[in-house]
Structure 1
Amino acid sequence: MSISTKSTYGIRAMFELALNHGASPISVAYISKKENISVPYLEQLLNKLRRKGLVKSIRGPAGGYVLAKAPAKITMGEIVMALDGDITPVHCASSTKPIKACKMIDRCVTKTVWKKLKNALDNTLNSVSLKDLCDDAKRMKVDKTVRHKYEFNI
């Protein structure tokens, strides 16, 4: 079991939006360059996140994307759920996906372990907000490049 590229890239894009929360909209090109994610793939992710109500798109020359809510109100779990749906180690531990036919479902001893693992993963992802990631970035001194629309030529 692993978190998909879709979710990891989506979290990275949302992190960039959270770092710049309250400033002007962030362009797809900026996020693409900063996070090394291709523009077409990033556009797909941001469109899906927009449809799920996690980001807003702003049109126009100074347009881009902004968070739909404060960074403290958006968790990694919400982002993963928006992009990938329910993440589970095995189908029988899922709370949202229909259980696939399993002949052992009624007497499976390991099912309880898989459910505990799924619950631990859900609890962890749902306990970490974008604000938490931004706070961690500040402690780690992650580069927050100042964005502006000026071009200096000498």
Structure 2
Amino acid sequence: MKISTKGRYGLTIMIALAKNYGDGPTPLKAIAKAHQLSENYLEQLATPLRNAGLIQSVRGAYGGYKLPCKPEEISAGDIIRVLEGPITPVEGIEDEEPAKQALWLRIRDAVKDVLDNTTLEDLIRHELDEPKEAYMFYI
């Protein structure tokens, strides 16, 4: 399974909204600028996320998008399924011989487990815990 830019940028949107959870709506323009991404492309990704109920839009001068629930209630799997479709490592698993089919199903289940048990809260925490690169001074 390969995650496209839809899934990657969709996670970027969701992580940004999770960081701002409780602080009001965040404009996609701010997310696009912070991550050097196309605002138009992010708008295209926001539509299916909104239709799936993963984000809410707020109109007006101080509008944007926000999460409808706590970051720990939304998994990476929720986001990836909306933007990428079903989680399958290969097409036509049912047509494979039993040994290969068992392997593909185990891989699928492992990927699903990671995505479904990783929340936006986990991703934010991981980003905060990630060691920052130290400056190297030369004399």
Q: TM-score, normalised by structure 2?
A: 0.89
| Partner residue, 1:42 | 42
Structure-to-structure mapping, 1:5-20, within 5 angstroms: 5-20=5-20
| Identical residues among aligned pairs (%) | 36
Find the aligned partners of 1:13 and 1:35 in 2 and give their Cα distance: 10
Where does structure 1 lack aligned partners over 5 or more consecutive residues? 94-98, 143-154
CA distance in 2, matches of 1:70, 1:138: 18
Distance 1:141-1:64 versus aligned 2 partners, 3 A rule: farther
Verify the 8 A CA contact 1:7 1:84 in the aligned structure 2.
Answer: yes
- Pairwise CA distance, 1:5: 1.1
Amino acid in structure 2 at the alignment position of 1:138 = L
Q: Displacement, 1:85?
A: 1.2
Alignment pair present for 1:61 and 2:51: no
Match of 1:118 in 2: 108
- State the 1:141 CA deviation: 6.7
Distance 1:124 1:55, change over 3 A: same
What TM-score results when the alignment is normalised by the length of structure 1? 0.80
- Structure 2 CA distance for partners of 1:141 and 1:51, relative to 1, 3 Å: farther
Find the residue that maps to 1:57 and give its secondary structure: strand
- TM-aligned CA distance change 1:52 to 1:25, over 3 Å: same
Q: CA RMSD for the aligned pairs?
A: 1.5
Paired position in structure 2 for 1:138 = 128
Give distance in 2, aligned partners of 1:55 and 1:4: 20
Aligned AA (2:13)? A
Moved over 6 A (4+): none
Whole-angstrom distance in 1 between the partners of 2:112 and 2:46: 22
How many residue pairs align between the two structures? 132
Q: Is the 8 A contact 1:92 1:111 kept in 2?
A: no
> In the TM superposition, what is the alpha-carbon distance from 1:113 to its structure 2 partner?
0.1
**How far 1:92 moved relative to its partner?**
3.2
Where in structure 2 are there 5+ consecutive unaligned residues? Answer: 133-139
Q: Per-residue CA shift, 1:48-73, capped at 9, x if unaligned?
A: 10000000000000000001111000
Distance, in Å, in 2 between the alignment partners of 1:23 and 1:85 is: 31
Does the CA-based 8 Å contact 1:13-1:35 persist in structure 2? no
Q: Establish whether residue 29 from structure 1 lines up as the match of residue 19 from structure 2.
A: no
